[in-house]
Structure 1
């Protein structure tokens, strides 16, 4: 009788321990999610002029971050492409300084609504509130393609339809770039206005006013096109700034899921 009672007590004790252990793991996972490390973006200490000269002292305070994650393509050599970037912010926008080395620049699609990803272009992924999630056919986040002609292309719904269509968003990003006459170094400078998920083209939307401790999602990538076949270029490499864990080997997920963006915070 006593042995049976003791055995049941031990089983009950073990069950409580298991439940407590599982609860502890759940709490720990929740705590990790709440304390996610976010990359800081420094506030600009002066007005940034978008001229690809980057002579403002504020740029000297920002750290270079590498663009070195191969998301598509094979056998990427340093002679073909290298990249690094910096970010700053003020109440109006994010500012990006991008320095790349690219041995070949190609733009064979003059229409910014047609195969813009198959030309050399800068791709900027922005999630205004850092919430993550699917954005392929919505404005939950943006995947801007900034072409060599400085047109800005992406997909999304319109005022007239919830169907996603390719459009230009030139009012969202102001850019300028220069190429060194002595080397293959290209310098981009960009002003990126942030819009929340209520944005609709033509709806007189206003960009978000930025402030300290605002959390966002951000990722940068470069579409590298080196060859043109029958007068038309195709993307050879796609290089990102943040590691992505692929699904069945596919790492090209930024245009679909904002959860793969780098978590950042304005400081």
Structure 2
């Protein structure tokens, strides 16, 4: 009788342990499922282009003499985003791009028959002056970035001021993010840019370190030119990537339309 009692106790304890183990396993799985919210890249790569590393960083002197510019190819800034298609006399644009661990480097050639800087205050209608606009999405994730730092839309003015919108929906100068030099002869301007890349952890008013760029890194990228022939508003907005649909002026809001650059050596 005593042995029978002990046997029944052991069987009962074993069944309870199995039930408890089974319940705990389900709980653990449920927790893992809830916590495994790893962000998935939503943007689909398009206009994927390899960008060659510069052994020697270009000098920001507004010229094409640096070795890396002799080794890289031109890409067009020829997609109409706003306005009417300009004539070749009015506008022609193209760019080259390279990188080092410290920054992206961009060379831009713009043929523009009328250079306009109607708004002297860099924070007033900056988009209606002639300017180059550089779009950067550090992790190539795409998505909305109008009033946040998921991506940046740097408007680089003729005088070198760099403007984007901040989290308070106000224009802000980001002159430390983009170093630039422009030289102009006749109707042709050569711009050089050194662009530090910041990710979505960037916070205005705080100390922020730019990313160290590495081989095989993907970055969302586009570049454009605002063309104003001394009017109250820009006549044309020409971009480097095709934007589907009727509304093509999306770069300052939607990083999904950016192209993708792949850093290679």
TM-score range, shorter chain: 0.7 to 0.9
The Cα offsets for residues 150-180 of structure 1, whole Å up to 9 and x where unpaired, read as 10000012xxxxx221100000000000111
Q: CA deviation at 1:58?
A: 1.3
TM-score (norm 1): 0.80
Secondary structure of 1:206's match?
A: coil
Residue aligning to 2:36: none
Secondary structure of 2:69's match?
A: helix
Residue aligning to 2:254: 257
Distance verdict in 2 for CA 1:186–1:119, change over 3 Å: same
Residue aligning to 2:238: 239
Residues in 2 aligned to 1:73 and 1:47: alpha-carbon distance in whole angstroms: 36
Residue aligning to 2:90: 80
Q: 1:46 aligned to 50, 53, 56, which one? A: 56
Task: Verify the 8 A CA contact 2:118 2:230 in the aligned structure 1.
Answer: no
Secondary structure of 1:217's match?
A: strand
Residue aligning to 1:63: 73
1:97 aligns with 2:107: yes
Residue aligning to 2:35: none
Larger Rg: 2
Task: Verify the 8 A CA contact 2:223 2:240 in the aligned structure 1.
Answer: yes
Instruction: Please list, as runs of the form range in 1=range in 2, the aligned pairs for 1:119-138 lying within 5 A after superposition.
Output: 119-138=129-148
The structure 1 segments of at least 4 consecutive aligned residues displaced by more than 4 Å after TM superposition are 33-37
Secondary structure of 1:259's match?
A: helix
Residue aligning to 2:159: 149
Residues in 1 aligned to 2:260 and 2:156: alpha-carbon distance in whole angstroms: 22
Residue segments in structure 2 that go unaligned for 5+ positions in a row: 1-42
1:266 aligns with 2:256: no
Residue segments in structure 1 that go unaligned for 5+ positions in a row: 1-32, 158-162
Secondary structure of 2:212's match?
A: coil
Residues in 1 aligned to 2:112 and 2:163: alpha-carbon distance in whole angstroms: 22
Residues in 2 aligned to 1:37 and 1:53: alpha-carbon distance in whole angstroms: 27
Instruction: Please list, as runs of the form range in 1=range in 2, the aligned pairs for 1:157-172 lying within 5 A after superposition.
Output: 157=167, 163-172=168-177
Secondary structure of 2:190's match?
A: strand
Distance verdict in 2 for CA 1:51–1:234, change over 3 Å: same
Residues in 2 aligned to 1:37 and 1:110: alpha-carbon distance in whole angstroms: 35
TM-score (norm 2): 0.81
Residues in 1 aligned to 2:47 and 2:57: alpha-carbon distance in whole angstroms: 29
Residues in 2 aligned to 1:189 and 1:84: alpha-carbon distance in whole angstroms: 12
